[in-house]
Amino acid sequence: VLTGTVKSVSRGPPQEPGWAVVSVLSLYKSGGLGVPQPTKGATLRLQLPCRLCPALKKGSSYVLMGRLGGDGGAVLPPDAFVVPYRPQQQQVLGNLSKRPCRGTP
């Protein structure tokens, strides 16, 4: 789960995935994924397998929950959790990131 501002979106040709470049505001619960904590303002490149969704607008900030692809890159599939980011969510997301996972691997 990360919060970030979309810097650019390229949808690409119909048979190839598109890409979104996101400036990271914060990254949550990434320890289990082996993804290093990027500094605020660092950019991440997210693969967009679908040309139409999720609908991302350049300059807008979002809460994004995707997954890692086979090559270790970030993927934002059509069914990914994507909602507009509001600064009031920072405290809630911070509290959730501190909770230990109660599930079994």
Residuewise pLDDT in 10s, the chain (105 residues): 888 999 999 987 878 888 999 998 888 766 544 555 666 778 888 999 887 788 899 999 999 988 888 777 888 998 999 999 998 888 888 887 777 766 655
Q: Which domain holds residue 24?
A: 2-98
Q: How confident is the model at residue 32, as a pLDDT?
A: 47
Is residue 105 in a domain?
Answer: no
Q: How confident is the model at residue 31, as a pLDDT?
A: 53
Is residue 76 in a domain?
Answer: yes
Is residue 48 in a domain?
Answer: yes
Going by C-alpha positions, the residue among 38, 24, 36, 30 that lies closest to residue 101 is: 30
Q: How confident is the model at residue 62, as a pLDDT?
A: 95
How many angstroms separate the CA atoms of 27 and 43, rounded?
12
Decide if 6 contacts 34 (C-beta within 8 A).
Answer: no
Residue 27, CA distances (Å) to 2, 24, 78 in order: 4, 7, 21
Is residue 104 in a domain?
Answer: no
Q: How confident is the model at residue 85, as a pLDDT?
A: 94
Is residue 103 in a domain?
Answer: no
Is residue 27 in a domain?
Answer: yes
What's the whole-model pTM score? 0.79
Q: How confident is the model at residue 22, as a pLDDT?
A: 93
CATH number of the domain within which 56 lies? 2.40.50.120
Q: In total, how many domains does the chain have? A: 1
